[in-house]
Structure 1
Amino acid sequence: MRLAWPLVGRSREMRVVDAALSDPNTSGAVICGPSGVGKSRVAREALNAAASSGSEVRWVFGTSCGRNLPLGALASWAGLSGGDSLHLVCEVIESLTAAASAAPVIVGVDDPHLLDDLSMFVLQQIVQRGVAKVLLTERDDVPIPVGVHELLHLGQFDRVDLQALSGESTSELLSATLAGPVDPGTVSSLWKLTRGNTLYLRHIVEQAVADERLVNSSGYWQWSGEPVVPPGLVELVESRIGDLPVAVADAVDALAVGEPVELAMLHRIASTEAVEQADLRGLIRLGDVDDRVEVWLAHPVYGEVRRRTAAQTRLRRLRGELAEELATADTRDDVRVLVRRGALSLDSNLDPDVDLLLSAARAAIAMGDLALADRLAKAAGRADGGAEAMFVRGHALSWQGLGEAAEEVLADVPIAELSDEEHARLTYLRASNLLWALAEPGRAEAVITAGAARVGMGPAQASIEAVRGVYLFAVDRPGEALGVLEDLVLDELPPVVGAETAWALATMYADAGRTSDAVTAAEAGYEIAVRCSDAPHMRFNIADSHVTALLLAGRVSEAVEVAEWARGQAADLPGTAHLLGPAIAGRAALGSGRLVEACELLEQAAGALSATGHAQGWGYRYGIPRATALAMRGRWREAQAVLEELESVRRPFRRLDYEKSVAAAWVTAGQGAVSEAVAMSRAAADMAAVNGRFAAEVVCLQMAAQFGDRSCVMRLQELEGTVEGSRIGAVLRFANALHHCDGAELATASEGFEQLRDGVAAVDAAAHAAVAYRRGELRGSALGCAARAESLADQCGADTPTLRQAREPIPITDREREIVLLISQGMSSRDVAERLTLSTRTVEGHIYRAMAKTGTASREELAALLTMKRA
């Protein structure tokens, strides 16, 4: 399937080439780079641009067939008059450089190393005489013929070294080509395979789209299954590799199944001479790693091709030899080496080693490679790995979101001979899978109850108590959960249970406003997670709650730092894990008022997480702040669509009620129903208070105040001694100033929010100050605060209802404004009345008075006033 591939990531190179072709003091430019990197495309685009500017363009192509024919590449410009070579050369030069007008001529030469000598002589004469510019492409992975050297020395050429596309540019190119966002994991896989080689990328992507392995799922293009190198690319690579002697093939194929390989080890598997031959052919590359030299294939696609075309018996033998070599290395028990040994043994000629397979599976989980852990544990199970293999496999499947498969494995564990500790472990694994992956809290509770009945008092019972506490946390019973979990000693629990317990505690302490306790729990959780090979992803859940605690307390800068740490931790993890860092960073960006960045990060992460089987888990969790960020930007229709999609997700755990209510309130306010948004925020605050989530209550009250609620002061005063952090003081000052309609204090409150780095709150406080000054007829102060609000909004990317009110000095009341905004969306008076719980007559009265104040003659004219202002 042919796709339209735009030119991406080459703007700098295009500028250099354009400058060289326009400079009268240069002979042209030479574009250098390896095969497939896009030299010809850049040259073609540069010549097209030159042609559109009035230049006359000629294209010359070097080919292996034409290099044996005199003037073979320039046959189109050679006349039919015959004569000697000199006469022919002069005729070709004249034909090649002749222009219909005085327009400059540019000769593009692709693959000049394949030109015959006479064609090269023509180009040398053109450069020497200066009768045309010359633009050449030059491969830096083939020897440069003498003729090309001479050509370049005859004139002054600007050199452009074309590098492979970066990961970021690859993502941009794929999104532009496929006309939609691409799952970051898919981008990462394609970049690792192609290393930014656009020729390879085009072959692989077009074949994948045609085979429906690269498909648009939930708005994101995603790869399913393993990458497949299409036949056309296989032929291209095979022609590059050529026929290999057996020993050289051993060296190349050993790398294909197990790169990187230490140089000395590769010498033993193949031979020193074979490795040297592979190096001379440009098939391998060497690099220093610590105190050793390691070897890789020159390009990852070579490995894909060899794994497809080499004899499987050879590849199995080589995997076995590599596994045996690694088993004798000093680093054999290193986590990464264990994983490599186990993975190599899977499809080798070696007998299965249960201990190795289980150790490798646990190490793969520690590295976040859950799919590989599943394969290793499954192989261990086939080799009589017993309950341990089932525990490890069930855990790996559950964390991949494959809850049904995990339950099938775990439910088959023979329990008759399990120890108390193993019973507790099975209880944790099944309950967690039922709760988080399958969203069946009732069944999870039954498993916990049954597990508790099977074990005696002691560590096993404490472990099951921790699982019960986490269950209570998950079903939004924080008071009961704290009653269970606060009595446990985290370090005395199994590490994976201790890490999850720390996450639950950090989350509940954060919501309650117990920031110090939340931070302590998070830090304890990190320490446990480092020691625990079973919970590599749990550190991101902990980091999310850590960020929550700091944001709720007003410690926004610290929250951003934690989020950046998490982003770095996730960057190199396989599977969906690498999405969690950007998701957490998106929440921190939202909390610090960087709405453009928040929308980008959360759209990418939430969408991809939902599309990869985590819709009811991480996809839901990060979809809510995505909706909030969109609504704060004024994109309430998009935010509403996100919330409607979340409503269709079945999630009977951690409903995130207050966060969802805040998002919905922002959508409602964006629609113009500000009083309804206030009511929603106050209701969320009341619910948070009932559940002891006092820091969350403060945020809900802050939102109500930002929407214009003047009645929050008393409750905030009550919370001031309960909730830790600087946010409560800032919100109380803002609410008090709003209550008294004090422009000066509102302006000060805006500065306070800015110091906290809560940019959106700073915008709204400044906007409220402008409105207050305007009502006091202090025009200069009103204009100053309105300008400040606009400036802050530009920095944040915010477009809030209060900001729009500050922009619109229309002499109507808040209620009249609300009604006008709703009728501007095409709502009838009856619709507005139902929305705001008013009588239709009352709505009509407000509309009549607003028309009288503004001098408008119809509902349409009245609605247009605010519509025009908002536009």
Structure 2
Amino acid sequence: MRLVWPLTGRLEETRLIEAALVSTELSGIVIHGTAGVGKSRIAREALSAAGANGHGTRWAVGTSVARTLPLGTFARWVGTSDAESAALVGRVIEGLTSTSEGRPVVVGVDDAHLLDDLSGFVLQQIVQRRAAKLVLTVRTGTSLPDSVRTACDRGRFERLDLQPLSRDESTQLLTAALGGPLDTEAAQRLWRLTRGNVLYLRNIVEQEVTQGRLARRDGRWRWSGDPVMPPGLVELIETRIGALPPAVSEVVDVLAVAEPIQLERLTAITDADSVASAEARGLITIDSADGEVRIAHPLYAEVRRNRAPGSRLRRLRGLVATALADREDRDSMRVVVRRATLMLDSDLPPDPELLTRAAQGAVWLSDLALADRLAQGAIAAGADTEANFIRAHALSWLSRGDESDAVLAAIEPGDLTDDGRARLAFLRASNLIWSLADPAGAKRHIDEAAAAIPAASRAAIDAFYTVYWAAMGEPERAVAASSALDLDALPAIVGAVTAWAVVVACGDAGRPDEAVAAARTGYRITDRSFDAAHMRFVIADAHIGALLLAGRISEAREEAERLRRQATELPGAAQLFGAALAGRAAAGAGALGAAAELLDPVVEMMRAAGETNGFGYRFQLPRVTTLAIRGLADDAALAELDEYRHASWRYLAYEHTLVRSWAAATQGAVSEAVEIALSAAEAAGAEGQLAAEAWCLQIAAQFGDHSRTHRLEELTGLVEGPRVGVAAALSRALSRDDGDGLAAVSTEFETIGDLVAAADAAGLAAAAYRRKAMRGSAMASAARATELAEACGGSATPAVLAAAERLPLTDREREIAMLISAGLSSRAIADRLHLSVRTVEGHIYRAMAKTGVSTRAGLIALLPRRRR
């Protein structure tokens, strides 16, 4: 596959160059930048643009070879004459600046720092005579020849310091070059490796595409395996690094295996003169603020590591690990993780205690793959069972459930205390229920453990029962199981997971204050522990869910934003969860476009990673809901959601059912949508998920149903939070066909932050006003419904579409017309709405008669369009 690399992310720079070339006061522009940053490309593009605008253009390249010859860079304009220098200079200037049509000329000189003196004199003369505009590129860190500097001093030149592409600009360039979107993780990896250097990026991407490691799967480009450095790029980087004295090589290689390192520590490991020499060569950078030293570019480190013998790298890692152990902060967790990571691949003997503690620290840093490596190293070094517990938990989270179970099965229960056996049972059952998606197996395992462990040591057993019943959607049984537990007294990971379960149960049951209190307990546990820190994001998901169910939507969004800020400081999965939580909260508020932007890459990445714990399913639910509300959830999207379904997230059954309800509604099958939403409400209520029941009944009311008004009024006394009261008011106003009441409910929904419901209530108000011939009020409510729907990002619900419609149809006629527009035949419509074909045909005939059209296509043309 041949890639085409457009100029991307350089709009401001291009405008600056264009302005310099049309200015009457400037002689041109000098573009400074590091090797590979894109100086030559932007200069060539500038000359192409000038040529398209009627200028003559010339292009020359300075090289180290041409520099040894007078006028070497401009040799093509010298000709074969043996004339004196003055005549030759004149000939070159004439050749560079004259055109047969007398057009203005732009001369581009790449790598102007490599010009010989006579070529520099040519530039002086062009500037002095104002014979052409100049575009010069200069590599940062090099010295200009005196002749070129004089040319720049004689004229007025704009200066452009060209920076590497930002992360977003790099991703835009990759998307354009590859012809499709890039997986988020692949984009991040390429950014970390190339730091926006276009030359490096291009070399690596073309190599990886050719080798098949960077390939398009499921509509996105995904990168698997480790990059193999193209030989040409290695040669280029090695030339840039140059031949180094052994002491300077030591500095560079130490940083290649262990950056960043404090300057004081680096000089102790190596020596101050060598560090200064490496800095002078541009191979390392020293942060003046914190004194941290890093290698100048990640690829320098990659090349040095690939070239160095393994024994040398192991020795250097051992040196740095030993040096870190001498620091005062050697026991701080970040330093512990660095020390242990270096030790793993060094010539030092392994320290099982250090490796175990570091594995906990890696979990704290949300780097579960590293936690697995460190714990595995600890086990191999003879660590106690704590390392097995940490490794098993990390493997489970990494969707490697079979490996996790094997690690736990290898522990001899007879070597544990009763409390330890309860903890082992909790971890093994947790792996079964989540990573292996076997809730029945998890229940059998914990039942067997409960029968064998004394009551005094059963806290971890009761904790898992809490988790199990919450996951199964039986909140009262979950709360009962947790009633005697002191979450703070449990092992950290057990306490944190159980806190999540209590939050879920209380939220589903309609007790958000208790849910918030349990979430605070969970956060307290995660904040004070290392091996449970990552659970803060799972607890936050339950916390946000409880607030959304209650209608405390602004609080939910604030909580999501708080966690997202925390996630930006952590690696790996933490950032993914931060975006997922923000997307879920946005979906709950009705910010459909923003939610989709956040959730789409999350779901794609989890699917690509083969995630088995159910988080992909959890975040696919709000993602497909946002599609359905906008009328974009086709059968394929619903089938994909069913494929994602995880057996252990049963408490989300109502949410799954509501996706189907929304899809039916926006396809036009409103009566079917109501039936589905009511069935979800009934199922949730039967399990004690009263807040979920209220939400399902609210959705049914948004579709125009008021058959459960009495039940919603009952729920106002059973469920906390503003949502249930507003939902009851909606159903009550519908039952009275009360336009004013519906308009007031629209305002209430907007106040609590549910914009989709606010738009629907306004649309229902418009319909009520229209039935009473209150034209002005109807038009005002219809306009409000449209405005709110647009603010949502394109809500296409039945109430919103009906508000914009002016057709004299009954609800049933409109429903059938919408299904015709979705491509359904009369037989399919009859089957879907449980009607006879003859009844359907009768409704179609009457709709055509009322609207004055004679064909189905004509009827479809009258319907409001869904935004796609």
Please, which of 624, 643, 652 is the counterpart of residue 648 of structure 1?
Answer: 643
Aligned to 1:115: 115
The answer on whether the counterparts of 2:525 and 2:532 sit within 8 Å (CA) in structure 1 is: no
The answer on whether the counterparts of 2:816 and 2:840 sit within 8 Å (CA) in structure 1 is: yes
Aligned to 2:517: 520
The answer on whether the counterparts of 1:220 and 1:608 sit within 8 Å (CA) in structure 2 is: no
Partner Cα distance (1:616, 1:856) in 2: 54
Give the secondary-structure state (helix, strand or coil) at the position aligned to 2:611.
Answer: helix
Partner Cα distance (1:523, 1:356) in 2: 31
CA drift at 1:418? 1.6
Aligned to 1:142: 142
Q: How does 1:326-405 map to 2 (within 5 A)?
A: 326-405=324-403
Aligned to 1:672: 668
Partner Cα distance (1:476, 1:197) in 2: 51
The answer on whether the counterparts of 1:610 and 1:616 sit within 8 Å (CA) in structure 2 is: no
**CA distance 1:502–1:428, shift in 2 (3 Å):** same
Aligned to 1:30: 30
Question: What residue ranges of structure 1 are gaps of 5+ in the alignment?
Answer: none
- For residue 421 of structure 2, what is the amino acid of its counterpart? H
Cα displacement string for residues 116-152 of structure 1 (whole angstroms, at most 9, x for unaligned residues): 2222221222122222211122222222332332222
Q: How does 1:781-820 map to 2 (within 5 A)?
A: 781-800=777-796, 801-820=798-817
Aligned to 1:325: 323
Partner Cα distance (2:774, 2:435) in 1: 58
- For residue 311 of structure 1, what is the amino acid of its counterpart? P
Give the secondary-structure state (helix, strand or coil) at the position aligned to 2:854.
Answer: coil
Partner Cα distance (1:159, 1:632) in 2: 51
TM-score, normalisation: structure 2: 0.97
Deviates more, 1:479-488 or 1:523-532: 479-488
Partner Cα distance (2:690, 2:101) in 1: 80
Partner Cα distance (1:75, 1:699) in 2: 79
Cα displacement string for residues 158-204 of structure 1 (whole angstroms, at most 9, x for unaligned residues): 22222222222222222333333333232222222222222222222
Aligned to 1:239: 239
Aligned to 1:208: 208
Partner Cα distance (2:567, 2:220) in 1: 20
Give the secondary-structure state (helix, strand or coil) at the position aligned to 2:718.
Answer: coil
CA drift at 1:221? 2.8
The answer on whether the counterparts of 2:62 and 2:110 sit within 8 Å (CA) in structure 1 is: yes
Aligned to 1:479: 476
**CA distance 1:688–1:869, shift in 2 (3 Å):** closer
Deviates more, 1:738-747 or 1:722-731: 738-747
The answer on whether the counterparts of 1:476 and 1:653 sit within 8 Å (CA) in structure 2 is: no
The answer on whether the counterparts of 1:760 and 1:798 sit within 8 Å (CA) in structure 2 is: no
Aligned-residue sequence identity (percent) comes to: 52
**CA distance 1:219–1:386, shift in 2 (3 Å):** farther
2:417 aligned with 1:424, yes or no? no
- For residue 738 of structure 1, what is the amino acid of its counterpart? L
Partner Cα distance (1:869, 1:590) in 2: 19
Deviates more, 1:367-376 or 1:182-191: 182-191
**CA distance 1:157–1:740, shift in 2 (3 Å):** farther
The answer on whether the counterparts of 2:269 and 2:319 sit within 8 Å (CA) in structure 1 is: yes
Cα displacement string for residues 524-545 of structure 1 (whole angstroms, at most 9, x for unaligned residues): 1000111222223211111111
**CA distance 1:784–1:277, shift in 2 (3 Å):** same
- For residue 257 of structure 1, what is the amino acid of its counterpart? V
CA drift at 1:15? 1.6
Give the secondary-structure state (helix, strand or coil) at the position aligned to 1:613.
Answer: coil
Aligned to 1:624: 621
Deviates more, 1:355-364 or 1:327-336: 355-364
Give the secondary-structure state (helix, strand or coil) at the position aligned to 2:458.
Answer: helix
**CA distance 1:432–1:515, shift in 2 (3 Å):** same
- For residue 715 of structure 1, what is the amino acid of its counterpart? R
CA drift at 1:325? 0.9
Partner Cα distance (1:49, 1:675) in 2: 60
Please, which of 593, 597, 606 is the counterpart of residue 596 of structure 1?
Answer: 593
**CA distance 1:629–1:350, shift in 2 (3 Å):** same
Q: How does 1:708-723 map to 2 (within 5 A)?
A: 708-723=704-719
CA drift at 1:502? 0.7
CA drift at 1:22? 2.2
The answer on whether the counterparts of 1:70 and 1:118 sit within 8 Å (CA) in structure 2 is: yes
Please, which of 563, 566, 571 is the counterpart of residue 566 of structure 1?
Answer: 563
**CA distance 1:868–1:312, shift in 2 (3 Å):** closer
Deviates more, 1:560-569 or 1:820-829: 820-829
Please, which of 692, 695, 698 is the counterpart of residue 694 of structure 2?
Answer: 698
The answer on whether the counterparts of 2:474 and 2:689 sit within 8 Å (CA) in structure 1 is: no
2:437 aligned with 1:439, yes or no? yes
- For residue 456 of structure 1, what is the amino acid of its counterpart? P
The answer on whether the counterparts of 2:470 and 2:504 sit within 8 Å (CA) in structure 1 is: no
Cα displacement string for residues 263-291 of structure 1 (whole angstroms, at most 9, x for unaligned residues): 2221222112211211111111112565x
CA drift at 1:615? 5.1
**CA distance 1:534–1:717, shift in 2 (3 Å):** same
Partner Cα distance (2:146, 2:417) in 1: 78
CA drift at 1:520? 0.5
CA drift at 1:209? 2.1
CA drift at 1:386? 4.2
Give the secondary-structure state (helix, strand or coil) at the position aligned to 1:72.
Answer: coil
2:827 aligned with 1:851, yes or no? no
Give the secondary-structure state (helix, strand or coil) at the position aligned to 1:466.
Answer: helix
CA drift at 1:208? 2.0
Cα displacement string for residues 620-679 of structure 1 (whole angstroms, at most 9, x for unaligned residues): 110110011112223233xx4333112123521113111112222111112111111111
Cα displacement string for residues 828-852 of structure 1 (whole angstroms, at most 9, x for unaligned residues): 2111100111111110110111111
The answer on whether the counterparts of 2:434 and 2:612 sit within 8 Å (CA) in structure 1 is: no
**CA distance 1:811–1:427, shift in 2 (3 Å):** same
Cα displacement string for residues 582-634 of structure 1 (whole angstroms, at most 9, x for unaligned residues): 00100111122221111110101111112112155111110110011112223
Aligned to 2:819: 822
CA drift at 1:219? 3.5
CA drift at 1:868? 6.1
Please, which of 755, 759, 764 is the counterpart of residue 763 of structure 1?
Answer: 759
Partner Cα distance (2:202, 2:818) in 1: 49
- For residue 563 of structure 1, what is the amino acid of its counterpart? A
The answer on whether the counterparts of 1:35 and 1:141 sit within 8 Å (CA) in structure 2 is: no
CA drift at 1:258? 0.6
Question: What residue ranges of structure 2 are gaps of 5+ in the alignment?
Answer: none
Partner Cα distance (1:805, 1:103) in 2: 63
Give the secondary-structure state (helix, strand or coil) at the position aligned to 1:614.
Answer: coil
Q: How does 1:681-696 map to 2 (within 5 A)?
A: 681-696=677-692
2:552 aligned with 1:555, yes or no? yes
TM-score, normalisation: structure 1: 0.96
Partner Cα distance (2:690, 2:866) in 1: 38
Q: How does 1:259-274 map to 2 (within 5 A)?
A: 259-274=259-274
Give the secondary-structure state (helix, strand or coil) at the position aligned to 1:71.
Answer: coil
CA drift at 1:411? 1.3
- For residue 314 of structure 1, what is the amino acid of its counterpart? R
